[in-house]
Amino acid sequence: MYSQNQVGYPAIYLKPGRERSLSKGHPWVFSGAMAKIDPQLKSGDIAGIWTAEGKPLGLGFFHSSADIAFRLLTRDVHVRIDKDFWLDRLHHAISLRNQVIPPKTNAYRLINAEGDGFPGLVVDRYGEFLVVEVGTAGMEKQLQTILEILIQCLAPRGILERSESKSRHREGLPDRVQIHYGQISNEVVEILENGLSFRVNIMKGQKTGFFLDQRENRALVASLARGKNVLNCFSYTGAFSVYAIQGGAKKVVSVESSASANVLAKENFLQNAISPEMHPILEADVFEFLRNTDETFDVIILDPPAFAKSKNDLKKAVRGYKDINFYAGKRLAKGGWLFTFSCSNFVDEALFQSIVLSGLNDAKREAQLLARLGPGPDHPTLLGHPEGRYLKGLLVRVW
């Protein structure tokens, strides 16, 4: 009953009609769509996927117990998934970055999972170092090949793996933090972004150490900051603040609850000849600060951590996003600019906009939507895969 395609990969057959999303460009198939699975398949194996009528749809990673049971690699069932396959994908990824990364920048996302044809793999470049995150069983089995081609093509000084994501746990994989190649003698490395210098803790910092997805949004803040009082909430290591100050802001207040992040923020200020005394960095809870301050600001940046890390968190997340946008609305001067973001996968763009609107309405503020914001072009996503675009943002003017 089970057959294999021309290159010998075990087969999965879908239920009638369940190929529609895959045919329209989505790279995932959920377990409930599958009718028959070759019994030799194990989690992380490469499989061919077929319609109920026997039409081949592509090759991808199989998982026996995860909700996402198939992740598409290619629609060409005649190729071999080998080192040359991954090498070709890496060359495409490098070519894109060579075209879109701005001058005086040596830190960026090199591989963005499905968006670059590497389901479950993220690779971030920090100067001479690479930080790798593996989130799927399929990519786990390909890791040694991936490391080989990264070394072959990029000759990094060191490769660090930080695989600690919830997606990894859902695939039954343990956390792993490991230096795979070279030497990384210091936790903190120095990078350049648009000519600005930042110190990044690649060992223990959030995500892989720095919010590389906000580069273009930071530059936008800089372009609008001249002469303005700016409040940077959830400021982490101060990158938005550095950009605002370099853009000519009169005063920038940074609010962050993490003491270790604030230490790096002060170092980043000094790296860029900025006085922390003139532009205060406050160790405080953002919600409490916004509730209690009586200061008004011309620009407020809200870049919180993900409030919804699972569907069960959604109700609480909606409340959190509404509250911070409500309080920000209260503290913005007339004609002020609000940069507001969500990186929660379970909060889509439409829901996020409705939450921001509700918060500003409750604050009795009128609002103009000036731009929808998102990650930069080094974070590509498939057009048919909106879930891959996790960062949502709005630039709003209020009065």
Check 107, 231, 300, 343 and give the catalytic one: 343
Distance CA 142, CA 82 (A): 9
What is the distance in angstroms between the CA of the first residue and the CA of the last residue of the chain?
A: 67
What is the structure's pLDDT at 2?
43
Q: What is the DSSP string of 69-120?
A: EEEEEES-TTS--SHHHHHHHHHHHHHHHHHHSPSS--EEEEEEGGGGT-TT
3 state SS of 62: strand
Complete domains list, the chain, with CATH: 11-74 (2.30.130.10), 83-189 (3.30.750.80), 211-398 (3.40.50.150)
pLDDT digits (tens, 9 = 90+) for 185-242: 889 999 999 999 999 999 999 999 999 999 999 999 999 999 999 999 999 999 999 9
Which residues, 6+ apart, have CB-to-CB distance to 317 below 8 Å?
A: 306, 307, 308, 344, 346, 347
Structure confidence at residue 198 (pLDDT): 98
Q: What is the pLDDT of residue 228?
A: 99
- The CA distance from 16 to 213, in Å, is 39
Strand partners, 28: 71
Extract the residue ranges of the chain whose pLDDT is less than 50: 1-3, 5, 7
Per-residue pLDDT, 76: 95
Tell me the C-alpha distance between 194 and 196, whole Å: 6
CA distance linking residue 238 with residue 241, whole number of Å? 5
The answer to whether 338 and 357 are in contact (CB under 8 A) is: no
The pLDDT of residue 1:
43
Reduced to 3 states (helix: H, G, I; strand: E, B; else coil), residue 175 is coil
What's the pLDDT at 150? 99
Q: Helices 314-331 and 349-362 sit at what angle, rounded to 10 degrees?
A: 50
In this structure, are residues 373 and 393 in contact, taking their beta carbons and an 8 Å threshold?
Answer: yes
Per DSSP, what are the bridge partners of residue 123? Answer: 111, 132
Residue 11's DSSP bridge partners are 48
What does the pLDDT read at residue 306?
A: 85
Q: Tell me, yes or no, if 233 is annotated catalytic.
A: no
Question: pLDDT digits over 42-77, tens only?
Answer: 999 999 999 999 999 999 999 999 999 999 999 999
